[in-house]
């Protein structure tokens, strides 16, 4: 028996009458797995004269192969022709984790005890299976998308709200010819005034625009720009969305699929008002269409009307780009907004996708980006080429216009795609980045802060030199790969040259510890301070949780060890911090500002806190330089742009300063009599910037203005 796989959108290229004859003669069987849209008029032709009970084998209407929507439509068609009803499967989120599954029913037998559901074993696996973090996150993501984009209640949902645009906040395409809403009252009682629009979606308002609300306060360089207290009234909505992409010159035709959710104001089948009559609600109707094959020839694409009942078109243009094609497609809502129930002319949950119309499926290639080196800064161009090399397997196939685009890559390839589709809420999976393990950096590498704090210069060389050797070995391996990069060979060689320079700087840091006693002492001071702050921070955290723990249990190597990249970052910066005349620090063109780029939680803070401890310890050992004391002044400035991040990082930095101060108090003759201090400045909106402002602030806000017997105010120190 021949199996006929139905197209995604009926009828496709099939002659449904002929297929119906084959089904009735028992020479063919249907495969519904790919169907996403099946209009009832086509189903009526396909299923004419068929009976579910007698023709179940050829219909293959098992609920496991039918989507819920298609099953309902098939049931309606069969019921309308007097056929039995097909039970549709319940709506199930495909990615929802199965927390618990009811076991199959167990037949009751006389005098035999039936175990409870928690005693039943299924394939020797426990019934209760906790979901993974990925499953929970995926379910949460779907819940957020359903709430913001919809449809939260299924493809034929009912919405009991005044407007659908109040229910869903993203994925709205307005009609090209809109009416301006002057009052936010009931939908049917809105006062309106016509707007004129053009095909690009720009609008010419025929009413006076509302003035923006006055801004409280004035932005300053200290506080940043001041934001308005209220957003401005929104007067423009997009009437189209689309994408541009590149198609291989070997392709001959493509096919477009477009659709959206159409909401109509009708009477509910379920909800009743206070009088017991059917309530007026918004009912969703999914609309999906598939275009005929579109030939890839230069010029404008003939406008394609997706559905005969709605003035919604897909427009586009094809341009030649060498031997390939650049295609731009737009889904345009050219409807006119009615005076009442206006959301009927809006498009919700819009989708636009494109794929090949021939047997050659992987027709989409890298999007062309032509940029001349002479049109940008040489350093910027070199950086862009480096990014191109590093991310050569992450190809950008398309660019969205007012929307994101997702590409389905070909099997086993990264430079070809088989399908492009729009995404109202684009998403990208960012892989977790882990620092190299100890084994990768060499088994002889020592990263224990306590052990490094108590090591001599010769011992440090033996314990840290494996890091340099491991980096050198990695560079040698990468050099062997340059020949495989072809067009990126020059960029790869430049990158390896920078790697070699970084290795040399790390080696210079190690050599400095051998030659400079003060640098060695500051390095030991840094490791001791970092060790103490790390251990005591963990101890304090567990104490706040109410745990009964001893600090000796926490003070173990795994809780006080560096990560390899942190030690490397610290070593390559030691020479320029130690020597005020070092070229990395003061050369006019060759000076370096090192950027530590690592994902959140990877250990950036620990790295620069280590350099902070080294710097303030070295200043105390070097004493006065050029008439300036090493015990006074500001050694390190840290700035953060987010308030919560500022507080968190300030706490971590304070723990380090406390550790440094504890070390200083044990050896004041070595580390000086002046205490280590830390302060926080968060701008004049929160704390005063000047002494006179501080005095006035205390007098007016805190009521702490007091006079001494002599009539002069007390001196007040305020710490923030």
**What's the mean pLDDT in 195-206?**
37
Q: Which of 226-235, 374-383, 556-565 has the lowest mean pLDDT?
A: 226-235
Q: Which helix (H) or strand (E) holds 664?
A: helix 643-666
Distances (CA, A) of 246 to 354, 358, 488: 12, 17, 22
pLDDT of 262-317, one tens digit each?
999 999 988 888 888 999 999 999 999 999 999 999 999 999 999 999 999 999 99
pLDDT in tens, 219-273: 444 444 444 444 444 457 899 999 999 999 999 999 999 999 999 999 998 888 8
Strands 2-5 and 28-31: parallel
> Which 3 state secondary structure label does DSSP give 29?
strand
- Kind and range of the H or E element at 619? helix 604-622
The pLDDT value recorded for residue 74 is 79
pLDDT in tens, 53-82: 667 777 776 544 566 667 777 777 766 655
The predicted structure's pLDDT at residue 43: 84
pLDDT score of 505: 97
Which residue bears the tokens 């689309």? 242
**Residue in the structure block whose two tokens are 């625009």:** 209
Q: What integer pLDDT is reported at residue 29 of this predicted model?
A: 84
pLDDT-derived band at 216, boundaries 50, 70, 90: very low
Number of helices (H) and strands (E) in the chain: give both, helices first. Answer: 19, 20
Residue 15 confidence (pLDDT):
84
Average pLDDT score over residue span 626-635: 88
| Average pLDDT, rounded, for the chain | 81
52 pLDDT tier (thresholds 50, 70, 90): low
Tokens of 317: 């243009």
Between CA 201 and CA 175 the distance in angstroms is 9
Distances (CA, A) of 314 to 79, 150, 351, 352, 501: 35, 23, 11, 9, 54
> How many whole angstroms separate alpha carbon 168 and alpha carbon 343?
12
Res. 135: pLDDT tops 70: yes
Q: Most confidently modeled of 229-233, 475-479, 600-604, 627-631?
A: 475-479
Contacts for 587 with CB less than 8 Å, ≥ 6 apart: none
Sign of CA dihedral 459, 462, 466, 472: positive
Percentage of the chain modeled with pLDDT above 70? 78
- Show Cβ contacts of residue 370 under 8 Å, excluding neighbours closer than 6 positions: none
Of 40-44, 179-183, 530-534, 588-592, where does mean pLDDT reach its minimum?
179-183
Q: Is the pLDDT of residue 345 over 50?
A: yes
Q: Are 589 and 632 in contact (CB under 8 A)?
A: no
Least confident of 20-24, 127-131, 385-389, 468-472: 127-131
Residue 695 confidence class, pLDDT cut points 50, 70, 90: confident
How high is the pLDDT of residue 150? 93
- Over residues 486-524, the pLDDT tens digits come to 889 999 999 999 999 999 999 999 999 999 999 999 999
pLDDT (mean) for 171-200: 55
pLDDT value at 366 more than 80: yes
Over 80: is that where the pLDDT of 51 sits? no
What pLDDT, on a 0 to 100 scale, did the predictor assign at position 311? 96
């Amino acid at each position: 028996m021949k199996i006929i796989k139905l197209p995604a959108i009926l009828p496709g290229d099939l002659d449904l009458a002929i297929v119906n004859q084959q089904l009735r003669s028992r020479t063919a069987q249907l495969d519904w797995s790919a169907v996403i849209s099946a209009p009832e008029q086509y189903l009526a032709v396909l299923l004419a004269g068929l009976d579910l009970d007698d023709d179940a084998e050829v219909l293959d209407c098992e609920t496991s192969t039918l989507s819920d929507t298609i099953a309902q439509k098939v049931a309606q068609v069969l019921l309308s022709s007097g056929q039995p009803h097909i039970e549709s499967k319940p709506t199930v989120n495909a990615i929802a984790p199965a927390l618990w599954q009811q076991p199959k029913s167990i037949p009751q037998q006389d005098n035999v005890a039936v175990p409870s559901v928690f005693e039943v074993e299924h394939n020797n696996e426990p019934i209760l299976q906790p979901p993974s973090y990925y499953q929970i996150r995926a379910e949460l993501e779907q819940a957020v998308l359903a709430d913001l984009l919809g449809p939260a209640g299924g493809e034929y949902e009912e919405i009991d709200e005044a407007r659908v645009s109040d229910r869903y906040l993203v994925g709205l395409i307005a009609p090209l010819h809109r009416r301006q809403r002057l009052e936010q009252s009931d939908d049917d009682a809105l006062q309106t005034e016509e707007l004129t629009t053009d095909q690009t979606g720009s609008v010419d308002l025929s009413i006076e625009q509302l003035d923006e609300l006055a801004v409280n306060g004035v932005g300053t360089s200290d506080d940043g720009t001041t934001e308005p207290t209220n957003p401005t009234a929104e007067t423009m909505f997009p009437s189209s969305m689309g994408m541009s992409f590149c198609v291989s010159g070997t392709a001959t035709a493509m096919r477009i699929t477009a659709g959206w959710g159409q909401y109509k104001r009708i009477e509910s089948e379920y909800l009743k008002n206070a009088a017991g009559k059917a309530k007026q609600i918004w009912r969703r109707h999914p609309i999906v269409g598939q275009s005929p094959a579109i030939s890839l020839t230069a010029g404008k694409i003939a406008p394609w009307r997706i559905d005969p009942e709605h003035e919604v078109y897909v427009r586009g243009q094809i341009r030649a780009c060498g031997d390939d094609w650049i295609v731009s497609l737009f889904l345009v809502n050219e409807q006119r907004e009615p005076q009442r129930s206006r959301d009927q002319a809006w498009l919700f949950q819009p989708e636009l996708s494109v794929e090949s119309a021939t047997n050659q499926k992987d027709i989409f290639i890298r999007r062309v980006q032509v940029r001349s080196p002479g049109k940008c800064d040489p350093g910027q161009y070199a950086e862009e080429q480096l990014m191109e090399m590093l991310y050569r397997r992450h190809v950008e196939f398309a660019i969205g216009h007012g929307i994101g685009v997702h590409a389905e890559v070909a099997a086993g390839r990264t430079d070809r795609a088989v399908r492009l589709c729009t995404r109202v809420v684009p998403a990208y999976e960012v892989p977790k980045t882990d620092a190299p393990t100890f084994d990768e950096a060499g088994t002889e590498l020592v990263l224990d802060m306590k052990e490094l704090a108590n090591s001599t210069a010769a011992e440090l060389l033996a314990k840290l030199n494996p890091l340099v050797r491991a980096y050198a070995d990695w560079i040698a391996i990468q050099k062997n790969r340059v020949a495989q990069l072809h067009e990126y060979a020059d960029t790869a060689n430049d990158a390896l040259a920078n790697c070699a320079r970084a290795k040399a700087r790390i080696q210079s840091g190690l050599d400095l510890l051998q030659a400079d006693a003060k640098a060695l002492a500051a390095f030991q001071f840094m490791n001791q301070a970092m060790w103490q702050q790390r251990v005591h921070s963990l101890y304090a955290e567990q104490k706040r949780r109410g745990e009964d723990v001893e600090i000796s249990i926490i003070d173990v190597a795994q809780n006080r060890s560096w990560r390899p990249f942190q030690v490397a970052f610290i070593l390559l910066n030691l020479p320029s911090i130690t020597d005020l005349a070092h070229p990395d620090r003061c050369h006019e063109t060759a000076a370096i500002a090192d950027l530590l780029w690592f994902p959140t939680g990877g250990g950036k803070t620990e790295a620069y806190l280590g350099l902070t401890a080294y710097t303030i310890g070295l200043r105390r050992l070097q004493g006065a330089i050029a008439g300036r004391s090493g015990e006074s002044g500001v050694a390190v400035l840290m700035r953060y742009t987010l308030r919560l991040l500022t507080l968190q990082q300030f706490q971590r930095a304070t723990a380090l300063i406390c550790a440094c101060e504890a070390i200083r108090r044990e050896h004041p003759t070595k580390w000086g009599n002046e205490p280590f201090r830390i302060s926080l400045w968060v701008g004049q909106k929160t704390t005063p910037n000047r002494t006179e402002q501080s005095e006035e602030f205390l007098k007016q806000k805190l009521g702490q203005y007091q006079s001494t017997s002599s009539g002069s105010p007390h001196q007040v120190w305020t710490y923030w």
